[in-house]
Structure 1
């Protein structure tokens, strides 16, 4: 089924890159946030996407929007990815794909890859935009366009 524009984001928890428990209720409904699901740390399109969000992070912050990346990679992988590319935002480990299922993010390329989907969630916790594409940088561009409108 999955979340659609106009839906409220349900609560979820996951480990962040420091191994701490992230509780979505600490952020969702309190500030606007971009939640992006990506296939794997340190792969071509995922790195392009993460670095695109990094390079534009100050712009998102100007609009009061935080960024959260989600993949099935473990905490250690996320730590390395953050350190290697100096990523200033939260990465969550969704090792059992529970968050992916909660949002309804389907697989891509005939089920061979976890899907790449980005959600813009307003400060009330409501999904305002969903973007689905295999091209990582397009997600950054679409979210920036959403901020400017």
Structure 2
């Protein structure tokens, strides 16, 4: 049964929720540099969004929506971080192709995705966004596989309320 649920997806018992502190992690960014989340905690709010795959329709709309609202995120002092299992070269190409001004992190073994407990839908990795305050506490979580652009409006609304 567990294998069935893992394949078809389930809401993970370990999923990070509002009020939880985010786990420590470090991954390679689109430039091949190591990004360690502990270096930014305490300095600024974070918007961490997990997405399935570079250059797919909904993921591209979502990324471009974050790009188009990037000045609004900067207004709130927030750092935007996108995470998928795509490799560094794929992220670099995706960021260059769409002029993405924010950090994309490569999680090829889905280790950070699992740390956050991001659920799968069928075999598709989930699309979940976490808004995190300066202390590393999740203040908002939004989960929608189909509506990539709503991740941006939800995040901005959460930042506005902080």
* TM-score, structure 2 normalization: 0.88
> What residue number does 2:88 align with?
75
**Contact kept? 1:70, 1:92, Cα under 8 Å:** yes
CA distance in 2, matches of 1:102, 1:57: 26
Alpha-carbon deviation of 1:27? 1.2
> What residue number does 2:157 align with?
145
Question: Residue 136 of structure 1: SS of its match in structure 2?
Answer: coil
CA distance in 2, matches of 1:28, 1:69: 16
CA distance in 2, matches of 1:10, 1:71: 17
Deviating runs (4+, > 6 A) in structure 1?
Answer: none
> What residue number does 1:14 align with?
27
CA distance in 2, matches of 1:147, 1:4: 16
Gaps of 5+ in 2: 1-13
Alpha-carbon deviation of 1:29? 2.9
1:106-117 matches, within 5 Å, as 106-108=119-121, 111-117=122-128
> What residue number does 1:94 align with?
107
Task: Quote the RMSD (CA, aligned, Å).
Answer: 0.9
Larger Rg: 2
> What residue number does 2:132 align with?
121
Counting matched residue pairs gives 147
Alpha-carbon deviation of 1:138? 0.9
Alpha-carbon deviation of 1:106? 0.9
**Contact kept? 1:30, 1:125, Cα under 8 Å:** no
Gaps of 5+ in 1: none
**Contact kept? 2:131, 2:159, Cα under 8 Å:** no
**Contact kept? 2:139, 2:158, Cα under 8 Å:** no
Deviations 1:109-134 (A, max 9, x none): xx220000000000111000100001
> What residue number does 2:48 align with?
35
